[in-house]
Amino acid sequence: MILCKLAALCAILGWNQNAPIDERIALEPAPESAQAQEALADPKAPRSVAIYDLEDLALPPGFDERFRELAPDARRYREELGAERLALMERAIRRHVRPKFQRGLDELQVHHQSVFVVTATAEQHAWIRQFLGLQRREDAPYLNFDTKQLRAERSALEAIGLEGPTEVIADKARADALSASFDATGFEVLSAPRLRIGSGSHAYMDVFNEVAYVKSYEVVYVHPGPQAIADPVIDVVREGTHCDLAGIEIEPGLYALDFEFERTEIQRPIPTKEIQVTIDAPPVTISQPTVLTSSLSSTVLLRDGAGVWFRVPDGERELLLMVQLTLVPAPTADSGALEDLPECPVEVEHAPAEERELPPGQQRAREVPR
């Protein structure tokens, strides 16, 4: 199937399948400065076109074991996971390729959802090949994210060195010490969820409490007879935390973390108000809750043990979010890696062991320079 797609693309666009690929490009260590990370490719450098077949990267290593013989619901779930993972890789290439793409010269196109056609310089192609090689690692570690959300006075945050709106803490010892200091008096820890995902995966966590209240009343007139009935209208407000994380290794030891955070809280006590809904009945009481929402989204580059914190205004105090990355070695097949995977949310019928081999050639990417 993929071979047919690649052949069709080559025939239409006239690419030379026999042209050699220069493997001598050596990548420098990952840049630590924003200037190096944002450097643009040389507009005068020659460009070539390469086709990257990512069919074998649609799911993280080990996840195929959950879909041996696919029922319709399981097949649809796998397609959703694959589309999500490939979209994450596409976004990572566009954002983090080194040097950065020059608009109008460098380009990434997606064909058939799993084929990337890239026009770029030799250095950019070398970066992409290394990036895809990292995604094919069967021993890639899991990404463990320790998050803490707390509320405190501005003076208490600045007293432990949290000045400014945000900072990336590259030193693991300092990140550990900072996280431990949040248990001290003066900090109100709101939540501390922990998430573990595979590189190139996405996960989210919602912790909500639903609060019901009387929003208004509907008046129903009953006939015959002058009778009016006030029927309460109940509404529900959710308060709690939404945390959305996606992490992927973009260069050896360097991980790009995309995350969204939102905290919703109802101000208490909930104010009430009396209203008159009928002319011949006493007033009724309705609630008018005030909902406070703090949200942020960001993309940061972290190494093992590093962390990042953000300060957000929260009424008279401040809300602090800290995320720390810790790499966890992936279990081997002998240690029960497959059993450690989360349960598939849909029913899957498992095929016999001898039928689990993937077709030959499905595990490799094919690149065709022009």
- Residue 316 is assigned to a structural domain of this protein: yes
262 in a structural domain: yes
- Token match 């109008």: residue? 104
Strand boundaries in the chain, DSSP class E: 48-53, 107-111, 115-120, 142-152, 166-169, 187-191, 194-198, 201-222, 227-251, 254-266, 272-275, 284-287, 291-302, 307-314, 317-328
Whether 186 and 131 map to the same domain: the answer is no
Residues 278 and 157 in one domain: yes
How would residue 65 be classed by pLDDT, with cut points 50, 70 and 90?
A: low
Percent of the chain with pLDDT over 70: 75
Window from 19-23, 97-101, 201-205, 247-251 with minimum mean pLDDT: 19-23
CB atoms within 10 A of CB 28: 9
- What is the predicted pLDDT for the residue at 31? 62
> In terms of domains, do 132 and 147 share one?
no
**Looking at the structure, do residues 16 and 67 belong to the same domain, yes or no?**
yes
More confident residue, 9 or 320: 320
CA atoms of 279 and 257, how far apart (whole Å): 59
- Do 33 and 78 lie in one domain? The reply is yes
Same domain, residue pair 108 and 150: no
Task: Examine the domain organization and report whether 61 and 90 are in the same domain.
Answer: yes
List phi, psi (to 5°) of 353: -60, -40
CB contact set of 240 (below 8 Å; sequence gap of 6+) = 206, 207, 208, 209, 263, 264
Q: What is the pLDDT, as a whole number, of residue 338?
A: 47
Residues 120 and 185 in one domain: no
Token output for 173: 């010892």
Same domain, 75 and 123: yes
Same domain (yes/no): 178, 286:
yes
Cα 15 to Cα 51: distance, rounded to the nearest angstrom: 10
Its domain, for residue 133, covers: 2-140+346-355
CA quadruple 237, 239, 241, 244: dihedral, nearest 10: 10
Distance CA 155, CA 150 (A): 14
Q: For position 30, what pLDDT does the model report?
A: 60
Same domain, 179 and 91: no
Domain membership flag for residue 9: yes
Q: Are residues 36 and 181 in the same domain?
A: no
pLDDT digits (tens, 9 = 90+) for 163-217: 889 999 999 999 999 888 887 777 888 888 888 888 888 888 888 888 898 998 8
Total of domains in the chain:
2
pLDDT-based confidence at 336, cuts 50/70/90?
A: low
The string of pLDDT tens digits covering residues 289-314 is 988 888 888 899 999 999 999 998 87
Residue 338 within any structural domain of the chain: no
Residue 365 lies in a domain: no
Confidence label for 350 from pLDDT (cuts 50, 70 and 90): very low
- Alpha carbons 199 and 85: distance in angstroms, whole number: 10
pLDDT score, position 360: 40
In-domain check, residue 339: no
Query: Does residue 366 form part of some domain?
Result: no
The per-residue DSSP string of 238-267 comes to EEEEEEEEEEEEEETTEEEEEEEEEEEEE-
pLDDT in tens, 15-58: 333 333 334 344 455 666 666 677 899 999 999 999 999 988 87
**Domain membership flag for residue 368:** no
pTM of this prediction exceeds 0.85:
no
Q: One-letter amino acid identity for 180?
A: A
Three-state DSSP class for 341? coil
Tokens of 21: 């690929």
